[in-house]
A and B are shown apart, each in its own frame.
Chain A
Amino acid sequence: MAESTGSVAADSEPSNTIERLAQRMIQRPESVYQVLFYIATGFFLLMALFPFYWLMVLSLTPQQNISGMGAFLPNGFNPGVYLTVFETVPFHLFIINSVIIAALTTVVVLLIGSIGGYVFGRYEFPGRTPLMLGVLVISYFPPAAFLIPLFQLFTANVDIFGLAFEYPQIYNTPGAVVLPLSALIMPLVIFILATFYGQIPDGLEDAARIEGSTRVGALFKVIMPLSAPGVATAGILTFIITYNEFFFSFLMLEGNPQEWGVLLHGVFRFQGTRSQAYNLMAAASIVGVVPMAALVALAQDKIVSGLTQGALKE
Chain B
Amino acid sequence: MATETDAGTARSPIRVDLALLNRIERLSDTQFVYLMLTPVLVLLGSMAIWPLIDTFGMSLHADNIMSSDATGEFVGFENYVQMLTGQANALLPRPFLDLSAPLTSAVTVTLIFTVIAVGFEMVLGFGMALVLDKNFRGRRWVRVALILPWAVPIVIQGMIYYLIFTPGVGFAVDPLQGLGLISGAPLADSWSSLLIVIVSDIWKQSAFMALLILAGLQSIDRDLYNVAKVTGATKLQEFRTITFPLVLPTLLIALLFRTIAALKVYGTVVTIANCNTLPTLTCLVVTTWNANRYASAATIAFIMAAVIALALVGYLWKLRDLEYGGL
Q: Do A and B bind each other?
A: yes
CB of B76 closer than 8 Å to a CB of A:
no
Interface string of B296-311 (1 = CB under 8 A from A): 0110111011001100
Contact status B166-A312, CB under 8 Å: no
Interface string of A230-271 (1 = CB under 8 A from B): 000000000010011111001100000000000110011001
Contact status B308-A141, CB under 8 Å: yes
Contact status B47-A285, CB under 8 Å: no
Contact status B289-A141, CB under 8 Å: no
CB of B188 closer than 8 Å to a CB of A:
no
Contacts of B148-169 to chain A: CB distance below 8 A: 148-149, 151-156, 159-164, 166, 168-169
Closest Cβ of chain B to A83, distance in Å, is: 19
Contact status A244-B2, CB under 8 Å: no
Contact status A135-B40, CB under 8 Å: yes
Contact status B134-A182, CB under 8 Å: no
Closest Cβ of chain B to A236, distance in Å, is: 10
Interface string of B39-76 (1 = CB under 8 A from A): 11001101111111011001000000000001000000
CB of A77 closer than 8 Å to a CB of B:
no
Cα(A308)–Cα(B149), bound, Å: 17
Q: Tally the A-B contacts, defined by beta carbons under 8 Å.
A: 273
CB of A165 closer than 8 Å to a CB of B:
no
Chain A interface SS verdict (over half): helix
Contacts of B110-134 to chain A: CB distance below 8 A: 124, 127-128, 130-131, 134
Q: With A141-B305, A209-B2, A296-B148 in contact, do A311 and B163 touch (Cβ < 8 Å)?
A: no
Q: With A148-B289, A244-B154, A308-B212 in contact, do A115 and B149 touch (Cβ < 8 Å)?
A: no
Cα(A261)–Cα(B113), bound, Å: 30
Residues of A within 8 A of B130 (CB): 40
Contact status B37-A119, CB under 8 Å: yes
CB of A190 closer than 8 Å to a CB of B:
yes
Cα(A288)–Cα(B160), bound, Å: 12
Residues of B within 8 A of A307 (CB): 208, 211-212
Cα(A283)–Cα(B300), bound, Å: 38
Number of interface residues of A (CB under 8 A): 100
Contact status B260-A140, CB under 8 Å: yes
CB of B92 closer than 8 Å to a CB of A:
no
Cα(A141)–Cα(B89), bound, Å: 24
Cα(A45)–Cα(B46), bound, Å: 44
Chain B CB within 10 A, most for which of A112, A142, A143, A307: A142
Contact status A141-B309, CB under 8 Å: yes
Contacts of B249-270 to chain A: CB distance below 8 A: 250, 253-254, 257, 260, 263-264, 266-267, 270
CB of B223 closer than 8 Å to a CB of A:
no
Cα(A248)–Cα(B257), bound, Å: 20
Contact status A300-B298, CB under 8 Å: no
CB of B13 closer than 8 Å to a CB of A:
no
Residues of A within 8 A of B156 (CB): 263, 267, 285, 288-289
Interface string of A36-60 (1 = CB under 8 A from B): 0100110011011101101100100
Closest Cβ of chain B to A176, distance in Å, is: 11
Closest Cβ of chain A to B308, distance in Å, is: 6
| CB nearest to A113 among chain B residues | B40
Number of interface residues of B (CB under 8 A): 98
Chain A CB within 10 A, most for which of B6, B130, B285: B285
Q: With A58-B169, A304-B211 in contact, do A148 and B55 touch (Cβ < 8 Å)?
A: yes
CB of B146 closer than 8 Å to a CB of A:
yes
Cα(A314)–Cα(B159), bound, Å: 33
Residues of B within 8 A of A (CB): 2, 5-6, 21, 24-25, 29-30, 32-34, 36-37, 39-40, 43-44, 46-52, 54-55, 58, 70, 124, 127-128, 130-131, 134, 140, 142-149, 151-156, 159-164, 166, 168-169, 171, 203, 207-208, 211-212, 214-215, 235, 250, 253-254, 257, 260, 263-264, 266-267, 270-271, 281-282, 285-286, 289, 294, 297-298, 300-302, 304-305, 308-309, 312, 316, 325-327
* Besides the known contacts A148-B294, A179-B46, A216-B21, 15 further A-B residue pairs in the complex with CB atoms under 8 A apart: A41-B131, A119-B37, A137-B309, A142-B282, A183-B47, A214-B2, A246-B153, A264-B153, A278-B169, A281-B162, A285-B156, A292-B151, A296-B147, A296-B148, A314-B325
Can you pick out 30 interface pairs between chain A and chain B where the beta carbons lie within 8 Å of each other?
Answer: A41-B131, A41-B142, A44-B131, A51-B161, A67-B168, A119-B36, A125-B29, A125-B30, A125-B33, A135-B44, A137-B312, A141-B48, A143-B282, A144-B301, A145-B304, A148-B58, A161-B50, A179-B43, A183-B48, A214-B2, A217-B21, A245-B154, A247-B267, A263-B155, A264-B153, A278-B169, A281-B162, A303-B147, A303-B151, A312-B253
